[in-house]
Structures are given as C-alpha cells and as structure tokens.
C-alpha cells in the first residue's frame, strides 16, 4: 500500500471503524478479487470493522481502491471523500474494465502466440491474476521482467496464461502480441533450438518468408531474437514457462518485455532492467480447492460432503492433485471417503530430491487414478514414461507405438485427459498431448527398472512401421520421430542402431531438410561420448562446413555437397556410393 493511502487509513481509522458496516463492503471487495472468501469468513468472526481495516493495511493499492469504490457504492459519501484525496494514482484504465477476457481479439492474439487455453475445469484466482496483471502493466512504457514463482504444480502456468487473457491489457500494453515459449530443463544446445523455433515463429507471423537462415550459434540466436522483438514485434510480451536456470534466462536478457514462471525466485537477480515479482503461495486456498471438486462432481459448493474439505487439505491445495481426485470422483461420486482414505495412506513414501512439494499426495492421487484404468490402458499409460519433459505429441505417434488406428488412440487419450492424467493442447491441429512434469517424474520413478525396455519398444515399433524408409511427410508425427528417434535409441542402449542412424547420409539429409542442421549438431554433441570419435568428427565437420547450405530452400543436393569432403571421410564414401548408384539407375 502506498504511503499516502496508508497514512489516510491510519488517520481516519477510528471514524471508519465506528461508521462502516463491513459485510456489504466486503461483498464488493470479494467481487473485485482483492479479498478472498477465507479472509471474509475470518473477518466475520471478529470485530468486523477493525479487522477489515487491519487487513486493508496489509494489502496493496488495489485493495484500497476497491474499498473506496465499495464505500461510494454503498453510499458512505463523506467517508469516501476522506479517502479520495489519497487514492493511489495510476490504476491502469485497462484493468478497470473487467470481464473482457474472452473477446475474439483476445482469443486470436493468444492462439497466434501459442498461449495455452484454460484447463477444462478451471477456477479463477482473481487476487493472484490481478496481481500479475498489475505487474504486467508496469511494462507498458518500458521493458522489464515479471517473475511468477512458486512450487511445482501450484498453478503458475495456468496463472500466467490467465493473466494474459485480458483485452484491455493486451490493447494497452502488448498490442504487438503475446508469445509463449515452454522452457523446462534445458542444456545449451536445446536452448539454441528453442530460440531458433521462436525466431521462426516470430518471422512467420509477419506473413513473410524468413529472410535469413536460422541462427547457428547462441549468440547469433540472441541477436536475431533481439532484432525480432525490438524491431518487428515492438510492444509484445514474451512468456517463458518454467525456467530452471539463470543461464537460460540470460539468453533472453534483450531489453524486451518478459514474464517467466519458475520454482526459483532468485533467478531474476541475474538479469538487468526493471523487475517485478508475484509469489504463487502454496497453491489454492481451501475454497478454491473445494470449487474444483464441486465443478468436477457437478455439485453445489454447499452440497459437498464433509470429506471434501479433508481431501483438499490432504492435497495441500495443489491444483494438480485436486484435479486428479476431482476427475476420479466425477466417475465414482460415492467414493469420497475411499479416496480420502487413499490420500491419507501414504504407502508410496519415498525419499525425494525435492522437499519443496508434497509428493506423497501426488503419488497417492496418481496411483489412484491409474488404478481405475482398464488393464490395457494402464499399460498404455506406462508407455508415456518415455516422453521427454515438456514435449507434446500428436496421437499418431502413439498410434505407431501402440499399433492402433489413430481414432482408437484418440479415444484412449481422451480418457486420460478426462482423468487429468494427461493434458491436451487443442489450439494445435492435430491436438498435441503432454504430461505435467510431476506426472512424468512419477512415471519414471514407478517404472525405473523398465526404462530401457520401454524405450526399445518405441524404437522397434517405429522400425516396424516405417521399415526401411524414414517418415518424411513433415507433419507433427514425422517431426516427432525425426527429432526423438535418436533419443529413444540412446535411452534404450540400442547403440548399434544409433550408430547406423547417425552415420547415415540419408538420415542426415532427412533431418537437416526437415528441421535444419541445429538439431543434428545437437545430436552429435549429446551422444558424442558413445559414438565413434573419428566418424563423428567427420560428420560434424561436414555439417559445420555446410550448415548454411543446408538451411537454404530449395534444399541442396546433399550428395553433391558431401562429395567435396576429403576422400577418407565416411561422408564422402557414402556420397560416392550414392552417386554411383544414381549413375547406374539413371
Ligand atoms: P505449475 O506451472 O505451477 O507447475 P500448472 O499451472 O501447470 O502448475 O498447473 C498444474 C495443473 O493444476 C494444471 O494442469 C491444472 O490441471 C491444475 N490447475 C492449475 N491452476 C488451476 C485453476 N486455476 N483451476 C483449475 N485447475 C488448475
């Protein structure tokens, strides 16, 4: 709260305490999202006026303004006049217009920028959302950072997306657009690839073909991004979801407008410019947790059984865990006591690396949700253990893995989504499916001893399906395979397969054509230690010499390029064979 407003409240405290009737005022304030239901309850059990003022003194400017507006609306004109002089200035106009979150303009902007939609069952957290929006408004006139920090699964990503879902905010502050980038745990080469794809998106959205080849090094990528953000997309917001590492954040230190979510509050210390932060405390407050359960079970808040409150407590307000339980109850509405019992059992207790999150509750909820799956679907769900974090897959990839029709796979995935065991990005056509980090942690933990065979299954199913020729259609499915086949081979310890893939000129050509050379170089760096050193350096040499050619379109003749390698190089030898082959077949 600003000094002036605080002082005003202190000076007139006694008069206010004597004259106001808090219940009506609090109604307005709850509606404005500056007071939570819990706080309202607490105040009702005390000397109401004094308690409300005490609380107000601990709140922010918005609470003061809301209190003032409530006074005006309830006809306390004289008292309101006392407060008026010290009204904090600068409540952004745009934020005063509420209820304009879902205009077609907002939807277009967010969908173009890849901002995720609301989860199917969604509760609003107005106080938090407003806090984030208010910080975003500070970026109206100058670049800077907004950090949204809190524990895993506390709802940061959903909150970040929700904050952006506001007509006035976008119009006033970010008319250049809102661009979402999921980050997660990355190493340097991955980071380069992420920035490349962001640059590609930013260039594409200008309706012009990319003028340049993709940037080749991290420094170059930063420069390109700086140019695109400052020159081509001025006054736009970049949302970086789930940052772990300050080196990653530094790559975006480009004097632009950024909101990022993280578990690590101190990350923003490593970058320059104005910084604001919002903490997402331990998750949902109790009433919001109850609201989620009520929505899942289609009951009124008041009609929830007494176990509901205990369930929310056991979940420690984690929206992810409450959603899992809610989805179970939707199907078995008379199991409140049973699921509460399950949550309390903690039979899966294990020592975890992170102590910052109540994994027990998540374990229990995941185990319970998986248990109600039909046997064969449980096996399918287990197969998802092999996905890399922060990776979204189309149903077709799983159709290959499970040897089913895509439609059948979609039905199975829909079941997982309904149980909150999986999430879907339906902006994208085809839909893309993904797990929350913590769910993947759970699966990896559960299936630790079978990782190798699970990855082998992926590789073998791919080989079965595609026989000798690689997938080259360029659709989402194909891109998944081209990107991750090497990853699965390495995890499956299928080294022979990995060598022959990575040391094949055909593969190099396919991957370069579909994804650009950066991913390829990334592979050689990543799997370098398990590859033959000599041959690996020949391929890397070839790529670094020809990188710029491989980015051109129309795509060059790779055999021709390879023929200019030294004769001793494996790259040359393969090219020669292919050239001869061509000559004989005409
Ligand atoms: P974080 O980014 O902090 O790890 P997320 O934002 O991904 O957490 O939220 C985890 C899950 O919790 C979501 O997938 C969703 O199911 C649920 N969730 C989060 N926020 C809400 C909300 N406001 N309403 C309903 N469910 C939510």
Q: Rounded to two decimals, what is the model's pTM? A: 0.77
Sign of torsion over alpha carbons 52, 55, 61, 63: negative
Per-residue confidence at 353, pLDDT binned at 50, 70, 90? very low
Q: What is the 284 CA–ligand 1 centroid distance (Å)?
A: 10
Q: What pLDDT shows up at residue 356? A: 46
Mean pLDDT of 390-403: 95
Q: Are 192 and 118 in contact (CB under 8 A)?
A: no
* 160 Cα nearest atom in ligand 1: 6
> How many C-beta atoms lie closer than 10 Å to residue 165's C-beta?
22
Q: What pLDDT shows up at residue 100? A: 65
Local structure of residue 166 (DSSP, 8 states): -
pLDDT of 444 above 60? yes
Mean pLDDT of 190-200: 88
State the Cα–Cα distance between residues 347 and 352, nearest whole angstrom.
14
pLDDT of 351 above 50? no
> How many C-beta atoms lie closer than 10 Å to residue 147's C-beta?
24
Average pLDDT over the chain reads 88
Q: What pLDDT shows up at residue 290? A: 95
Per-residue confidence at 474, pLDDT binned at 50, 70, 90? confident
Determine whether the shortest distance from the Cβ of 153 to ligand 1 is under 6 A.
yes
* 159 Cα nearest atom in ligand 1: 6
* 151 Cα nearest atom in ligand 1: 3
Q: What pLDDT shows up at residue 213? A: 67
Mean pLDDT of 161-188: 91
pLDDT of 311 above 80? yes
Q: Are 413 and 433 in contact (CB under 8 A)?
A: yes
Determine whether the shortest distance from the Cβ of 438 to ligand 1 is under 6 A.
no
Per-residue confidence at 75, pLDDT binned at 50, 70, 90? confident
pLDDT of 352 above 70? no
* Mean pLDDT lowest among 283-287, 392-396, 499-503: 283-287
Residue that the structure tokens 């009520």 belong to: 294
* Best mean pLDDT range from 54-68, 92-106, 131-145: 131-145
Mean pLDDT of 95-111: 76
Q: What pLDDT shows up at residue 11? A: 85
Write the residue with the smallest CA distance to atom 15 of ligand 1.
320
Per-residue confidence at 97, pLDDT binned at 50, 70, 90? low
Q: What pLDDT shows up at residue 200? A: 84
CA dihedral (105, 109, 111, 116) in degrees, to 10, reads -100
Output b/e per residue, 365-376; b: 16+ Cβ within 10 A: bbbbbbeebeee
Tokens at 74, concatenated: 């309830």
Q: What pLDDT shows up at residue 437? A: 85
Beta bridge partners of 148: 261, 278
Determine whether the shortest distance from the Cβ of 297 to ligand 1 is under 6 A.
no
Local structure of residue 531 (DSSP, 8 states): S
For a ligand 1 pocket test, name from 158, 259, 324, 356 the mutation site with the most ligand atoms within 8 angstroms of its C-beta: 158
State the Cα–Cα distance between residues 295 and 298, nearest whole angstrom.
5
pLDDT of 355 above 50? no
* 152 Cα nearest atom in ligand 1: 4
Query: What share of the chain has pLDDT > 70, as a percent?
Result: 94
* 154 Cα nearest atom in ligand 1: 3
Q: What pLDDT shows up at residue 354? A: 46
Q: Are 521 and 528 in contact (CB under 8 A)?
A: no
- Can you tell me whether residue 192 is helix, strand or coil? helix
Mean pLDDT of 292-299: 95
- 220-236 pLDDT, tens digit per residue, is 999 999 999 998 899 99
Q: Are 42 and 35 in contact (CB under 8 A)?
A: no
Determine whether the shortest distance from the Cβ of 157 to ligand 1 is under 6 A.
yes
Mean pLDDT of 531-549: 90
ipTM over the 0.90 cut-off: yes
Q: What pLDDT shows up at residue 14? A: 87
Q: What pLDDT shows up at residue 157? A: 95
State the Cα–Cα distance between residues 296 and 329, nearest whole angstrom.
7
* Mean pLDDT lowest among 357-366, 496-505, 570-579: 357-366
Mean pLDDT of 326-349: 84
Q: Are 139 and 240 in contact (CB under 8 A)?
A: no
Q: What is the 152 CA–ligand 1 centroid distance (Å)?
A: 9
Determine whether the shortest distance from the Cβ of 122 to ligand 1 is under 6 A.
yes
Q: What is the 493 CA–ligand 1 centroid distance (Å)?
A: 35
DSSP string for 454-504: HHHHHHHHHHHHHTTSPP-S-SHHHHHHHHHHHHHHHHTT-HHHHHHHHT-
Determine whether the shortest distance from the Cβ of 324 to ligand 1 is under 6 A.
no
Query: What share of the chain has pLDDT > 90, as a percent?
Result: 56
Establish whether the linkage from the previous residue to 258 is cis, with ω within 30° of 0: no
Q: Are 179 and 114 in contact (CB under 8 A)?
A: yes
State the Cα–Cα distance between residues 562 and 572, nearest whole angstrom.
5
């Amino acid at each position: 709260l600003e000094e002036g407003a605080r002082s005003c409240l202190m000076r007139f405290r006694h008069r206010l305490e004597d004259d106001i009737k808090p219940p009506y005022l609090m109604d307005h304030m709850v509606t404005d999202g500056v007071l939570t239901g819990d706080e309202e309850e607490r105040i009702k059990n005390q000397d109401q006026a004094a308690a409300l003022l005490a609380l107000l003194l601990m709140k922010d400017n918005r609470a003061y303004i809301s209190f003032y507006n409530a006074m005006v609306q309830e006809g306390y004109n004289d008292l309101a006049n006392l407060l008026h002089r010290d009204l904090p200035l600068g409540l952004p106009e745009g934020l005063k217009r509420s209820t304009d979150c879902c205009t077609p303009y907002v939807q277009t902007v967010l969908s173009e920028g890849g901002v995720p939609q609301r989860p199917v069952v969604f509760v609003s957290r107005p106080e938090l959302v407003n806090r984030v929006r208010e910080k975003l408004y500070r970026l109206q006139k100058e670049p800077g950072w907004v950090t949204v920090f809190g524990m895993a699964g506390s709802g940061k990503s959903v909150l970040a997306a929700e904050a952006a879902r506001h007509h006035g905010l976008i119009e006033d502050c970010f008319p250049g657009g809102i661009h979402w980038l999921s980050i997660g745990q990355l190493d340097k080469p991955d980071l380069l690839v992420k920035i490349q794809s962001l640059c590609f998106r930013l260039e594409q959205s200008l309706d012009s073909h990319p003028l340049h080849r993709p940037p080749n090094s991290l420094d170059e990528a930063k420069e390109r991004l700086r140019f695109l953000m400052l020159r081509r997309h001025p006054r736009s917001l970049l949302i970086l979801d789930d940052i772990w590492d300050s080196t990653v954040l530094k790559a975006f230190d480009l004097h632009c407008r950024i909101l990022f979510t993280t578990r690590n509050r101190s990350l923003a210390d490593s970058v320059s410019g104005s910084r604001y932060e919002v903490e997402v405390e331990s998750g949902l407050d109790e009433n919001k947790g109850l609201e989620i359960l009520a929505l899942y079970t289609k009951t009124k808040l008041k009609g929830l059984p007494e176990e509901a409150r205990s369930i929310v407590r056991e979940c420690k307000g984690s929206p992810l865990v409450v959603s899992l339980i809610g989805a179970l109850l939707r199907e078995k509405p008379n199991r409140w006591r049973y699921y509460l019992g399950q949550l309390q059992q903690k039979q899966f207790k294990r020592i975890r690396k992170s102590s910052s999150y109540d994994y027990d509750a998540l374990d229990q909820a995941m185990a319970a949700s998986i248990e109600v799956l039909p046997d064969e679907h449980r096996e399918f769900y287990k197969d998802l253990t092999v996905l890399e974090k922060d990776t979204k897959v189309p149903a077709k990839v799983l159709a290959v893995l499970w040897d089913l029709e895509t439609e059948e796979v979609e039905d199975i995935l829909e079941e997982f989504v309904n149980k909150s065991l999986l999430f879907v990005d339906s902006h994208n056509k085809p839909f893309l499916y993904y797990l929350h980090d913590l769910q993947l942690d759970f699966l990896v933990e559960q299936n630790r001893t079978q990782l190798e065979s699970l990855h082998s299954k992926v590789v073998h199913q791919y080989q079965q399906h595609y026989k000798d020729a690689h997938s080259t259609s360029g659709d989402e499915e194909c891109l998944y395979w081209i990107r991750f086949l090497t990853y699965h081979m390495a995890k499956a310890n299928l080294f022979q397969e990995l060598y022959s893939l990575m040391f094949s000129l055909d593969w190099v050509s396919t991957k370069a054509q579909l994804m650009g050379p950066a991913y390829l170089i990334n592979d050689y760096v990543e799997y370098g230690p398990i590859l033959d050193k000599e041959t690996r350096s020949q391929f890397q040499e070839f790529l670094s010499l020809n990188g710029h050619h491989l980015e051109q379109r129309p795509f060059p003749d790779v055999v021709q390029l390879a023929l200019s390698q030294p004769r001793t190089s494996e790259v040359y030898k393969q090219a020669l064979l292919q050239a001869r082959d061509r000559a004989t077949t005409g």
